[in-house]
Amino acid sequence: MAEPTPQARITELRDELNRHNYNYYVLSNPTISDQEFDALLHELATLEAAHPEMFDANSPTQRVGSDLTNEFEHIVHERPMLSLGNTYNREDVSEFYQRVKEGLDGDPFEICCELKYDGLSISLIYEDGQLVRAATRGDGVRGDDVTANVRTIRTIPLSLRPGTGFPNRFEIRGEVLMPWERFNALNHERELREEALFANPRNAASGTLKLKSSAEVARRRLDAYLYFLLGDDIPATTHYERLLLARKWGFRVSEDVKLAHSLEEIYAFIDYWDKRRSSLPVATDGIVLKVNSLAQQEELGFTAKTPRWAIAYKFQAEQALTRLLSVSYQVGRTGAVTPVANMEPVLLAGTVVRRASLHNEDVIRSLDLHIGDFVRVEKAGEIIPQIVGVDTSRRSGKDGEPIAFITECPECGAHLIRYEGEASTYCPNDTRCRPQILGKIEHFISRDAMDISSLGPETADSFYSRGLIRNVADLYNLTVAEICGGYPSRIISARKIVESVEQSKKVGFDRVLYALGIRFVGRVAARQLARTFRTMDVLKAASEEQLQRAEGIGQTIAKSIVAWFAQDDNRKLVERLREAGVQMEMPEEVTSGDALAGKTIVISGTFAHHSRDEYKLLIEQNGGRNASSISSKTSFVLAGDNMGPSKMEKARSLGVPFVSETEFLLMLGEKPAQQPSLF
């Protein structure tokens, strides 16, 4: 096959890097290592430099990857949050050192050596000693406003100690982390619920900080290390002095910082932590080197993307070679079938590894795995083992045949299917396959669904093994005597379970619909379906075309709903839940008035008298319509505290008026305690 032209290779690399950026920043589920990503990015940058006619402002080389979401207000950073250039070898470190020396015309300089923490970059703004805003790095120019969630992190001070000399206003940047202890505990919880495990603490921290529930964020106990102080009135002339000031003001700043005066001292710092980093309570993936003098930093300046006075040295992932003995298959709660490699035990990064996930059929094919192969194993994020290659030179004629993905479910024997556009293979027998049945029960009892809080996943598993339940409808037939099983000591907990099941009958129809676990029907879709079709009977009778008329319901969801109700077992399940007293229709919507009739309203910021969800309901009850983004059709913005600058700017540019919380409530006839308007 002919080699692709440089132009074709540039296009191919851009598509591949964009896909990896999405996996890493949006899904928090990287599929290649940082080193592999950097190698692809470097190849693209080299090709683009040689072919300037292929310039594209949207090329991955022109921007920092984004972790922006649509769930949070977006904030424009006062100063761009640039990324650092990465290197994986001493030669690059030496070249960086020489560039600094030449850039400073031979003047003496110090390098501040710090640990590179593997978490989520954060920017914190303090005014008069108070935390006023926290934002993720996002795309480097804008980030997500995660102030409410950051306030739950105990190592981030909400108020600074008076008398410690902090300026009136400053910014401090750092990394939000999930300690190893909490990460392992969280993954253990998820494993018991048969939920997908976080690949590493960085992904866990990122996923946690983007949760809507600050209470859940607090429960997971995130940590933070701060390492970069910015401001106009900070009494320090070096980066190291600023770190000491930040520590004095009450911030967690690493003690493991060293000032190096030579290349040899830098190498010694790298070698020391390459061996000892596994003993740290949080994940690190390298070393950061910064010119210490702020004046020299300014003299060296920046490239378009990175500072010339700093670089990140990233540790190599440890690999081991071992023999593949067999491949087994696990069925998850959604029916996804995951292949698992069983290997001869091998010591890797301080632990003995025997098993590694192979993810899906495509991974097996790409590796061209044979039973008996010698495989290279490394720990993704230094926690989850994965096979990254095969030593084909050691393959002999005695080794087994290529591994073929199974065609039947290992749990129930059903023929497996693979949906178009998906990498995973599924068992479709969701009413007879034990892992899927347990998964449905665990989903049904979860907090966001029926909220049967006294019944956990382990107890549900026990009930299934004892034959007390076979599907979610059986929960409503449970008795205290059955749960106790002749053990009087279980009476109190049994009563709580029965009471909790009884209480779930009051849960609204939209959450009941979500609790059924219909594929692709999440909480938002379930609420929209419930409000559009009003009753289970009307929904059950709806065609694909009718379903797609509901806002936010596309063809995929519509097909899934029709297919679900087409199964006799599912229709019988619904009838049993109806007979048990579970809600099967939406109550008549209460209309408070028409004060907002014909108005389209965008909510932004935080409020004192009601939550954002409560305000959305008030808008609908008074004839108004909620919108998520500002346009020329927006009637006004209901503006609370900490409104996002981007929305504020867009509203002003379009001439959309702002209405304060107090003014809004007065429009509806409420008279709250007067609060000053910000606009």
Answer yes or no: are the C-beta atoms of 303 and 337 closer than 8 Å.
no
Nearest to 426 by CA among 441, 438, 440, 411: 411
Beta-carbon count within 10 A of 408 CB: 13
> What is the rounded distance in angstroms from the CA atom of residue 588 to the CA atom of residue 509?
12
Two structure tokens written together for 7: 């132009």
- Gap between the terminal Cα atoms of the chain: 65
Q: Where are the beta strands (DSSP E) in 438-573?
A: none
Phi/psi-derived region of residue 290, left when phi > 0, alpha when psi is between -120 and 50, beta in every other case: beta
Beta-carbon count within 10 A of 232 CB: 8
Beta-carbon count within 10 A of 367 CB: 19
Dihedral pair phi/psi, residue 461, rounded to 5°: -60, -40
Given the residues 116, 210, 440, 647, the one annotated as active site: 116
Tokens 């910000």 belong to residue: 678
Q: Can you give the length of the chain in residues?
A: 679
> What is the rounded distance in angstroms from the CA atom of residue 504 to the CA atom of residue 679?
44
Indicate if 116 belongs to the active site.
yes
Amino acid at 296: Q
Nearest to 581 by CA among 525, 527, 510, 509: 509
Answer yes or no: are the C-beta atoms of 330 and 356 closer than 8 Å.
no
Q: Exposed/middle/buried for 245, CB within 10 Å: 0-12, 13-18, 19+? A: buried
> What is the rounded distance in angstroms from the CA atom of residue 580 to the CA atom of residue 474?
10
Taking CA atoms, 598 is separated from 40, 102, 621, 626, 656, in Å, by: 52, 66, 12, 11, 15
Two structure tokens written together for 145: 């406003």
Residue 611 CB contacts under 8 Å (≥ 6 apart), including other chains: none
* 3-state SS record for 27-71: CCCCCCCHHHHHHHHHHHHHHHHHCHHHCCCCCHHHCCCCCCCCC
Answer yes or no: are the C-beta atoms of 484 and 490 closer than 8 Å.
yes
**Beta strand pairing call for 636-639 and 130-136:** unpaired
Instruction: Count the helices and strands in the chain (H runs, E runs).
Output: 24, 21
Which residues does the annotation mark as catalytic? 116
